[in-house]
Structure 1
Amino acid sequence: MAANYLWVRSALLSLQAFTEKMPRVRPFYAVKCNPDPVMLRVLANLGCGFDCASAKEMATVLDMGVEAESIVFAHPCKRPLDLEFAIETNVTRMTFDCVDELEKVAAECPHAELVLRIRADDPSAVVQFGHKYGADPQTEAPMLLAAAKQLEMNVVGVSFHVGSGSQSCDAYPLAVEAARRVFDQAADLGYEMQLLDLGGGFWGRFDATGHVPLEDVSEAINSALDRFFPVNSSGRKVEVIAEPGRYFAEACTTMYALVTTVKDRPDGSRSYYITDGVYGSFNNLVYDHGSVTAKVLRGPGMPPVQPVETETRLPSTVFGPTCDGVDLIFKDVPMPLLRRGDWLQFPNFGAYTIAGACAFNGIPVDNPDIMYVWSEEPTGSWEHSVAMLRKGADKDNPALQAPEHHLCFVADLHDLESIC
Structure 2
Amino acid sequence: MISAVLAVCMLLSFLPAQAEGTDIKALQTRLLDLGYEIGKADGILGKKSSAAIALAQTLLAEQGFDIQSTGTPDAKTVELIMKEENSGLLQMLVKGSWGSRVKEVQQKLIGLNLMRSHADGQYGTNTATAVLTFEKQLAEQLPDQIKPDGKLTTDEYKLLMSDLSKYGFEAPIYFDDTRPETLKETYLYAKHACLINASTGETLLEKAADEPAEPASTTKIMTLLTALSLCDPDKSVVIPEEAADIPADSTRVPVTPGETMIMRDLLYGMMIRSGNDAANAVAVLCSGSVDAFAEEMNKTAVKLGMENSHFVNPHGYTAEGHYTSARDLVKAARYGLTLKEFREIVTCMWYTLPKTEKRDEELVITQKWEIFNPLSEYYIPNAAGVKSGYTSTAGFCYVGAYQENGITLIAAVMGGQGRNMAWTDLKRLFAYGMAVTN
Normalised by the shorter chain, which TM-score bucket? Answer: under 0.3
Higher alpha-carbon Rg: 2
Larger proportion of strand: 1
Higher relative contact order (CA 8 A, sep 6+): 1
Taking structure 1 as the reference length, the TM-score comes to 0.20
